Structure formats: structure tokens, C-alpha cells
Amino acid sequence: MKLSLFLIVATLYQLTAQAEILDLVQQQVDAFNKRDIERLTENVSADFTWYSVSNDSSWVELSGKENFRHAMISYFESRNYQITSSIHSYIISGNRLSFEEWVEHRNAAWQIVRSSALAIYQMNDGKIERAWYFVE
């Protein structure tokens, strides 16, 4: 009986933790789609690091909350069109969420242009601490 109760409590704890991770990432997507720099920045840790991975190399794209803020401002300022992000095919493992992200916008001919990347977010204390984006 004690083991069953322990398993139930452990399962509920894990489901709650997973729901919190999904909620945080959905908040980040919503903030991106609204171009809400403050919310985007609020969701990352002070020592946030963004890594890019391509073929046989990887590099630090940026490090630090303020550098992330400035990068997102520049990103949105360089795009005067509507751009949206959405999450697909995710897996949660511990404090990490791996997922496929689609980013879409319309080109001059009003056709939808989509790019996608595999990403992994590592969470700590309710913030995104690390992000790895696998790009082509």
C-alpha cells in the first residue's frame, strides 16, 4: 500500500513538473508571437545561454539575459512582417523539453514561408536556462 501511494505521488509530481515546463514554453511562444520583449526576457534565467548546432560544429549564439533582450529587439526590428512560432512533436525528459519549432511568415507574394528547427530547452527554477537550436 505504501509503495502504491508513493508511486501515485511520484507520478503526480512528475505530471505537475511536465505541465509547468510546457506552460513556460507556451508562454515563450506566445510572447514571441506578440513580440513581447519583456515577457520573452522574463522567461529566461540571468545566465541564459543559447547554443546553435549545425552539422559538425556548435557555438554560443549569445549568453546572458540582457544580450538575449537585445538580440530579440534586433530580430524583430529587422522583420517588418508578421512572424509566428509554433511548437510541434515535443518530448519532456527531466528538466528538458525537446521539440520541433516552426516559424512562419508571408513573403511578398503573400505565400507562407516556413522554416523549422529542432530545439532543446533546459529549465531551472521556472526559467529557461539553456537553449540549443539545431540549424541547417
Q: What is the pLDDT of residues 23-71, one digit of tens each?
A: 999 999 999 999 999 999 999 999 999 999 998 899 999 999 999 999 9
Q: How are strands ordered across the β-sheet holding 44-54?
A: 57-63, 44-54, 127-134, 112-124, 96-106, 83-93
Decide: residue 21, CB within 10 A, 0-12 exposed, 13-18 middle, 19+ buried: buried
pLDDT of residue 93: 94
Contacts of 36 (CB under 8 A, 6+ apart): 30
pLDDT band at 135 (very low <50, low <70, confident <90, very high): confident
Rg of the chain, C-alpha, whole Å: 17
Domains in the chain (CATH in brackets) are: 2-134 (3.10.450.50)
Find the DSSP H helices in the chain. 2-33, 37-42, 65-77
Give per-residue pLDDT as tens, 88-130: 899 999 999 999 999 998 888 888 899 999 999 999 999 999 9
Residues 133 and 115 sit within 8 Å (Cβ to Cβ): no
pLDDT of residue 80: 75
Residue length of the chain? 136
Q: Helix or strand or coil: residue 7?
A: helix
pTM comes to: 0.83
